[in-house]
Amino acid sequence: MNTPSDLPLWAAWAIVVVTLCGSLLALSGSLGLVVLKRFYERVHAPTLGATLGMAMIVIASVTFWSLSEGRLALKDLLIGVFLTVTTPVTLILLARAAVYRDRVEGNDDAPSE
């Protein structure tokens, strides 16, 4: 296995740029979590980092490990597949629990039927 310093310079720049873009997406998702006013608006924000941000970092990671090990290293795609499957499930369960709680307490915040 080669050390990371054996990567070509263009590959290093590409990996860094894609990772930075993914991190910025994750950061803007978390910023939305703080800035937005209602829960039903906030529940949308983290999906920025969970979908495109995660995908960009995973692609950068696949590129990095494929180049530094000299073979196709696709194991990082496991994280991508797993998160793509689970993120909608968790958020829909959480949103339904929030709707249920708001309706039981009679808050105006809950979306109508």
Partner 1 sequence: MTASAVLFWGLGAAQALLLLAMALAAWRMIRGPRAQDRVLGLDTLYLNAMLLILVQGMRSGVGLYFEAALIIGMLGFTATVALAKFLMRGEVIE
- Say whether residue 96 binds partner 1 (CB under 8 A): yes
User: 42: helix, coil or strand?
Assistant: helix
- Look up residue 47 and give its two tokens: 């999906």
- Look up residue 94 and give its two tokens: 């959480």
Which is nearer to partner 1, 70 or 86 (by Cβ)? 86
54/35 Cα distance (integer angstroms) = 21
- Say whether residue 9 binds partner 1 (CB under 8 A): yes
Candidates 31, 71, 88, 111: give the one binding partner 1 (CB under 8 A): 31
| Helix orientation angle between 9-35 and 54-69, rounded to the nearest 10 degrees | 160
Which is nearer to partner 1, 36 or 113 (by Cβ)? 36
CB 60 within 8 Å of CB 22:
yes
Q: What is the contact surface with partner 1 in residues (CB under 8 A)?
A: 3-9, 11-13, 15-17, 19-20, 22-24, 26-27, 29-31, 33-34, 39, 42-43, 45-46, 49-50, 53-54, 57-58, 60-61, 64-65, 68, 75-76, 78-79, 82-83, 86, 89-91, 93-94, 96-98, 100-101
